[in-house]
Amino acid sequence: MSDLTLKVLSITESAPSWAGPAFEVSCASQASGARQFDAVVFEAGDDRSLDELLRRADLQQAAFDSAVVVVAPTAELGSELALLKQGVQDVVRGLDTAGMGRLLWHAVERKRLERAARLAYATDLATGLPHQAQLIEHMSQLLALRERDPAPMVLIVLRIEGLPGTAARLGMEAANILRRKVAVRLRSGLRASDVVAATGPESFGVLLGHIEAIGDGERVAGKLVQSLNQPFQVAGQMCSVGVAVGMALYPEHGTDAGTLLQRASAQATGAAAMGQEGYAARTERGATRAANDDASQPT
């Protein structure tokens, strides 16, 4: 977003009356590219067009992606509330160029604050990873798609041992740094399409949403454990962690996110953490290539 100019998508066939030098206005009939703009403005000139707007399939998605303002001279309170429930930032009866500029800047700032709050809710602040609630939400979305297009997926939970010992030896901040380094190493060992989340102060979840074969889960887990078994440098000293692994397969072990997470977490909790020789809850020991095996250096 420019310091001087707002990029605005106007859902009209011609340049809007409020357009001016403070706006870089593009006109379109659909809001499919809303995320490329600072704000999107819909206009509803009468009750009929307002009703049509409330039924538009692209309205809610546009309100998720950008700051949406609706110009509706005839809107009553019930219609305004319905629009706000769909994520619209503001509903106005009509403004001149100067008034619209002020309103759009306010809407864009409110959307920025909303995004920041959403990110804080969805993120484990210590590691920058999604937290457990976000992992469950993402899994639930994938599982809903699996109902129409069945395909296997794997949830891996890794329980990390060694963080309290590091805190006792080097201090809590060193333990926090070690936890962040574990998160970075996990993320660097996976594909961009895989999801890594912090499921607890000493555990992480890895969701492999797209796999070719059931055995890919064990191969990826083996790769991750090998990576974590290599020491970390924290506060000028070498620190090691132990890793216990739990795994849940869809659909063999469950068809909802809560069941899969509970199974994988319980397995990781009950398993003994292992070092470089292997990892817990595995039927076969030894190094194997991961399904997504891209060489990466530990940090």
- Per residue in 265-277, pLDDT (tens digit) is 999 998 877 653 3
What is the spatial distance between Cα 183 and Cα 292, in angstroms, rounded to a whole number?
18
pLDDT of residue 69: 94
Is the pLDDT confidence value at 95 over 80?
A: no
Strand partners, 239: 232
Q: Tell me how many degrees the CA angle 209-36-54 measures, rounded to the nearest 5.
A: 85
What are the pLDDT digits (tens) for 70-87?
999 888 899 899 899 888
Q: From CA 240, how far away is CA 232, in angstroms rounded?
A: 6
Q: Give me the chain's average pLDDT, please.
A: 84
- State the average pLDDT over residues 108-136: 83
Q: How confident is the model at residue 94 (pLDDT cuts 50, 70, 90)?
A: confident
Residue 110 Cα to chain centre, angstroms: 20
What pLDDT shows up at residue 294?
Answer: 42
Between residues 295 and 100, the one the model is more confident about: 100
- Among the CATH numbers 3.30.70.270, 3.40.50.300, 3.40.1050.10, 3.90.1150.10, which is that of 125-270? 3.30.70.270
Provide mean pLDDT across the span 184-209: 93
CATH class as words, domain 6-121: alpha beta
Whole-number pLDDT of residue 31 = 87
In terms of average pLDDT, the best of 10-24, 184-198, 269-283 is 184-198
Q: Is pLDDT at 2 greater than 70 in this prediction?
A: no
Reply yes or no on whether the pLDDT at 290 is more than 80. no
Cβ contacts of 43 within 8 Å, gap of 6 or more: 10, 11, 12, 16, 49, 70, 71, 72
CATH 3.40.50.2300 residue spans of the chain: 6-121
Residues of the chain with CATH 3.30.70.270: 125-270
Query: Of 69, 49, 91, nearest to 9 (Cα)?
Result: 69
What pLDDT, on a 0 to 100 scale, did the predictor assign at position 120? Answer: 66
